[in-house]
């Protein structure tokens, strides 16, 4: 982070009107995105839309927020500017793991009219192979048996069940995670949960859902790296008080939301949110062009020793691979929403990834690939085959992912890959393979990490395996050059 912090804007003290929103997933992204839009909405239009923030397990942010009257700073950072805002919209916070019953109580409280979610792709207990709620997950199974719920879907379902019993006030559940059709996805999983309950328990709630609960979809976008000790010091110097949990974020921010709110909503448009019927198109654009390419940059970058996304995209062959995947493999798979200029969107992406002041780590973007890639790649792969094209760069993304998360014996993917967390790491590492094709088959065919349809594309599976072998035996730069030349894209000239 190089730019000097210049301005601080502190908004009014926390939500004087009280809380109308319960937010599950009190991480950095929520605090730099939805909270900022909500502060703008309340400044413009008032309303009792304060937010009760629920962290899933960690006490760190909750303890700090309690000690700081729920005030914290968002630092907007670019190479030539940096500024602070203090949203001041949280009225309370707690940890779901230590207070699971309270989540149910809050969801049933008629003052709460929206529940928002940023629980990551991994937080939905979705099984790509059965395409429904993963009822074999022990946490979900315990929630179904009636324990205080600990899975997000269990919390929502049990909260809605209680709310139905207490009078059935309208509420909306708004997913803000990078999932295609995140609203209907969440609704389906909640209905799966309720459908597993004995008839007498489930039926009334399902009728309540039909009558008074909506699940709007939304597309969220803002690059939010993890907080560093350096940021904490810089924010303290500017504010003159210590904030233990400031959040760094890029200047760009976007939120496209379907306007279907059962119990009202804040005037989020005051913060620049777009209310639109085209959320699906926004989501596809973002999840494929931004997130899909982001994954490619993160895995290739980590294998090349790059700690951050800007370091990775500064390498000419990774930049060429990013341009090729964007233009040849992701762009043909999307339809731009009205008013969005794809060429401009793509050129903005390169500046956003290149924001060297942010320090967004390859290990952060590369984490949880087994769940993230399932949102980002299967649609574009299948669409490429329909067009008669072969998605070489998407195959390279998966090969690089496997090289990072399940490195074959004797291959060291380096420290940035080792720092990537992934729920499938153990399942993938446990396989003894005779080579890349075996490992690719294990991930794509046996575990169906990326859904059922890709499992039948043996040409794709084999190509992933072969690229993985190339990474291991000849190096990632050879695999990049091979994919670029196979896709007909020009490889950069090496000095
Ligand atoms: C990233 C996203 O970690 C990742 O997988 O692609 O978190 C990305 O930074 C955000 O979606 C940007 O809105």
Could you tell me if residue 167 is left (phi over 0), alpha (psi between -120 and 50 degrees) or otherwise beta? left
Considering the domain architecture, whether residues 311 and 330 belong to the same structural domain is answered as yes
The CATH number given to whatever domain includes residue 400 is: 1.10.1040.10
Backbone φ, ψ for residue 452 (5° rounding): -75, -35
Establish whether residue 178 lines the binding site of ligand 1, counting it when its CB lies within 6 angstroms of any ligand atom: yes
CA 301, distance to chain mean position in Å, is 20
Strand order in the sheet with 254-257: 218-221, 254-257, 274-275
pLDDT beyond 90 at 242: yes
Max CA separation in the chain (angstroms): 71
Pocket test residue of 177, 223, 250, 397 for ligand 1, highest count of atoms within 8 A of CB: 223
Considering the domain architecture, whether residues 255 and 367 belong to the same structural domain is answered as no
Segment 5-57, tens digit of pLDDT? 666 666 555 566 689 999 999 999 999 999 999 999 999 998 999 999 999 99
pLDDT of the residue at 272:
97
User: Which of 275, 291, 311 lies at the terminal end of a domain, its last residue?
Assistant: 275
Count of domains forming the chain: 2
pLDDT beyond 70 at 122: yes
Number of H helices, E strands in the chain: 23, 15
**Segment (H or E) for 83:** strand 81-86
**Cα(262) to centroid(ligand 1), Å:** 29
Which residue stretches of 97-137 are H helix?
Answer: 100-108
Between CA 371 and CA 177 the distance in angstroms is 12
pLDDT of the residue at 493:
60
Considering the domain architecture, whether residues 225 and 309 belong to the same structural domain is answered as no
Query: Which residue owns the Cα nearest ligand 1 atom 3?
Result: 365
pLDDT of the residue at 14:
57
Considering the domain architecture, whether residues 162 and 291 belong to the same structural domain is answered as no
Considering the domain architecture, whether residues 49 and 157 belong to the same structural domain is answered as yes
Query: Which residue owns the Cα nearest ligand 1 atom 9?
Result: 223
Contact 379, 244 (CB under 8 A): no
Interhelix angle 100-108/152-165, nearest 10 degrees: 40
The arithmetic mean of pLDDT across residues 333-353, rounded, is 96
The CATH number given to whatever domain includes residue 227 is: 3.40.50.720
- For residue 144, being part of any structural domain is answered with yes
Pocket test residue of 251, 288, 294, 422 for ligand 1, highest count of atoms within 8 A of CB: 294
Q: Using 50, 70 and 90 to split pLDDT, how confident is the model at 4?
A: low
**Cα(102) to centroid(ligand 1), Å:** 30
Which atom of ligand 1 sits closest to the CA of residue 220? 13
Retrieve residue 103's tokens: 């989540």
Sign, CA torsion 378/382/383/385: positive
Considering the domain architecture, whether residues 264 and 384 belong to the same structural domain is answered as no
Establish whether residue 352 lines the binding site of ligand 1, counting it when its CB lies within 6 angstroms of any ligand atom: no
**Cα(263) to centroid(ligand 1), Å:** 30
How far from 222 is each of 29, 305, 377, CA to CA, in Å?
8, 25, 21
Considering the domain architecture, whether residues 36 and 174 belong to the same structural domain is answered as yes
Between CA 155 and CA 97 the distance in angstroms is 11
Strand 218-221 vs strand 254-257: parallel, antiparallel, or unpaired? antiparallel
- For residue 285, being part of any structural domain is answered with yes
Which atom of ligand 1 sits closest to the CA of residue 364? 3
Q: 52 has which bridge partners? A: 22, 92
CA 9, distance to chain mean position in Å, is 27
**Cα(394) to centroid(ligand 1), Å:** 17
pLDDT beyond 80 at 355: yes
Between CA 20 and CA 165 the distance in angstroms is 20
Between CA 140 and CA 126 the distance in angstroms is 10
Establish whether residue 223 lines the binding site of ligand 1, counting it when its CB lies within 6 angstroms of any ligand atom: yes
Sign, CA torsion 183/186/190/193: positive
Establish whether residue 397 lines the binding site of ligand 1, counting it when its CB lies within 6 angstroms of any ligand atom: no
Buried b (16+ CB within 10 A) or exposed e, 49-73: bbbbbbbbeeeebbebbeebebbbb
**Cα(223) to centroid(ligand 1), Å:** 6
Nearest to residue 275, comparing CAs of 223, 219, 225, 228?
219
233 by DSSP, 3-state: which? helix
Between CA 221 and CA 218 the distance in angstroms is 10
Establish whether residue 288 lines the binding site of ligand 1, counting it when its CB lies within 6 angstroms of any ligand atom: no
pTM score, whole prediction: 0.94
Establish whether residue 300 lines the binding site of ligand 1, counting it when its CB lies within 6 angstroms of any ligand atom: no
Query: Which residue owns the Cα nearest ligand 1 atom 1?
Result: 365
- For residue 494, being part of any structural domain is answered with no
396 by DSSP, 3-state: which? helix
- For residue 111, being part of any structural domain is answered with yes
Segment 64-87, tens digit of pLDDT? 999 999 999 999 999 888 899 999
Sign, CA torsion 261/267/273/275: positive
Considering the domain architecture, whether residues 91 and 195 belong to the same structural domain is answered as yes
Segment 186-213, tens digit of pLDDT? 999 999 999 999 877 777 899 999 999 9
Between CA 361 and CA 358 the distance in angstroms is 9
User: Which of 247, 275, 303 lies at the terminal end of a domain, its last residue?
Assistant: 275
pLDDT of the residue at 1:
47
Between CA 129 and CA 150 the distance in angstroms is 23
- For residue 493, being part of any structural domain is answered with no
pLDDT of the residue at 10:
61
Share of the chain above pLDDT 90, in %: 88
Parent domain of 368:
279-487
**Segment (H or E) for 216:** none
**Cα(222) to centroid(ligand 1), Å:** 8
Sign, CA torsion 291/297/302/306: negative
Considering the domain architecture, whether residues 196 and 345 belong to the same structural domain is answered as no
494 by DSSP, 3-state: which? coil
pLDDT of the residue at 2:
47
**Segment (H or E) for 77:** strand 74-78
User: Which of 275, 310, 340 lies at the terminal end of a domain, its last residue?
Assistant: 275
pLDDT of the residue at 423:
94
- For residue 460, being part of any structural domain is answered with yes
- Spatial neighbors of 320 by CB under 8 A, at least 6 apart, are 480, 484, 489, 490, 491, 492
Segment 362-402, tens digit of pLDDT? 999 999 999 999 999 999 999 999 999 999 999 999 999 99
Query: Which residue owns the Cα nearest ligand 1 atom 13?
Result: 221
- For residue 360, being part of any structural domain is answered with yes
Q: Give me the chain's average pLDDT, please.
A: 94
Establish whether residue 91 lines the binding site of ligand 1, counting it when its CB lies within 6 angstroms of any ligand atom: no
> Cα torsion at 30, 36, 37, 40 (round to 10°)?
160
Neighbours of 419 (CB within 10 A): 16
Share of the chain above pLDDT 70, in %: 95
38 by DSSP, 3-state: which? helix
- For residue 495, being part of any structural domain is answered with no
Considering the domain architecture, whether residues 328 and 248 belong to the same structural domain is answered as no
Q: 95 has which bridge partners? A: 55
pLDDT of the residue at 431:
74
Backbone φ, ψ for residue 17 (5° rounding): -80, -5
Considering the domain architecture, whether residues 37 and 147 belong to the same structural domain is answered as yes
Q: Using 50, 70 and 90 to split pLDDT, how confident is the model at 495?
A: very low
- The DSSP letter of residue 337 is P
Considering the domain architecture, whether residues 297 and 223 belong to the same structural domain is answered as no
Establish whether residue 217 lines the binding site of ligand 1, counting it when its CB lies within 6 angstroms of any ligand atom: no
Backbone φ, ψ for residue 122 (5° rounding): -80, -10
pLDDT of the residue at 199:
75
């Amino acid at each position: 982070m190089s730019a000097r912090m210049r301005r601080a804007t502190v908004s009014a003290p926390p939500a004087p009107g009280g809380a109308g929103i319960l937010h599950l997933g009190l991480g950095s992204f929520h605090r730099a995105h939805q909270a900022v839009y909500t502060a703008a909405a309340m400044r413009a239009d008032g309303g009792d839309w304060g937010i009760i923030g629920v962290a899933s397990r960690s006490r760190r942010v909750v303890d700090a927020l309690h000690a700081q009257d729920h005030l914290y700073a968002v630092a907007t950072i670019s190479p030539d500017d940096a500024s602070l805002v203090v949203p001041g919209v949280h009225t309370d916070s707690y940890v779901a793991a230590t207070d699971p019953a309270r989540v149910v109580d809050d969801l049933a409280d008629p003052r709460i009219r929206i529940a928002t979610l940023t629980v990551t792709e991994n937080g939905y207990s979705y099984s790509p192979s059965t395409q429904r709620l993963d009822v074999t997950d022990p946490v979900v199974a315990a929630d179904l048996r009636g324990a205080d719920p600990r899975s997000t879907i269990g919390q929502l379902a049990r909260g809605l069940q209680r709310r139905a019993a207490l009078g059935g006030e309208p509420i909306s559940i708004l997913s803000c995670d990078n999932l295609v059709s995140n609203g209907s996805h969440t609704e389906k999983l909640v209905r799966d949960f309720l459908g597993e309950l004995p008839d007498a328990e489930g039926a009334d709630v399902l009728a309540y859902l039909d009558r008074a609960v909506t699940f709007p979809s939304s597309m969220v976008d803002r690059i939010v790296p993890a907080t560093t000790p350096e940021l904490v010091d810089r924010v303290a110097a500017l504010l003159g008080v210590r904030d233990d949990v400031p959040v760094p974020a890029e200047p760009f921010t976007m939120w496209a939301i379907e306007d279907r709110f059962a119990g009202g909503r804040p005037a989020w448009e005051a913060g620049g949110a777009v209310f639109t019927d085209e959320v699906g198109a926004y989501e596809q654009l973002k999840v494929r062009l931004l997130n899909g390419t982001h994954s490619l940059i993160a895995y290739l970058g980590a294998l090349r020793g790059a700690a951050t996304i800007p370091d990775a995209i500064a390498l000419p062959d990774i930049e060429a691979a990013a341009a090729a995947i964007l233009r040849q493999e992701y762009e043909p798979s999307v339809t731009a929403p009205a008013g969005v200029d794809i060429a401009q969107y793509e050129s903005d992406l390169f500046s956003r990834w290149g924001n060297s002041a942010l320090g967004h780590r390859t290990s952060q973007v590369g984490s949880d690939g087994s769940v993230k890639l399932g949102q980002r790649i299967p649609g574009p792969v299948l669409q490429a085959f329909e067009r008669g094209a072969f998605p070489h760069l998407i195959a390279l993304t998966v090969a690089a992912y496997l090289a990072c998360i399940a490195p074959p014996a004797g291959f060291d993917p380096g420290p940035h890959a080792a720092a990537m967390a992934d729920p499938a790491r153990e399942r993938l590492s446990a396989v003894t393979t005779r080579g890349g094709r075996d490992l690719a088959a294990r991930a794509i065919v046996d575990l169906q990490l990326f859904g059922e349809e890709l499992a039948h594309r043996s040409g794709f599976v084999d190509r992933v395996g072969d690229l993985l072998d190339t990474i291991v035996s000849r190096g990632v730069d050879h695999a990049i050059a091979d994919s670029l030349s196979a896709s007909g894209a020009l490889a950069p000239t090496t000095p």
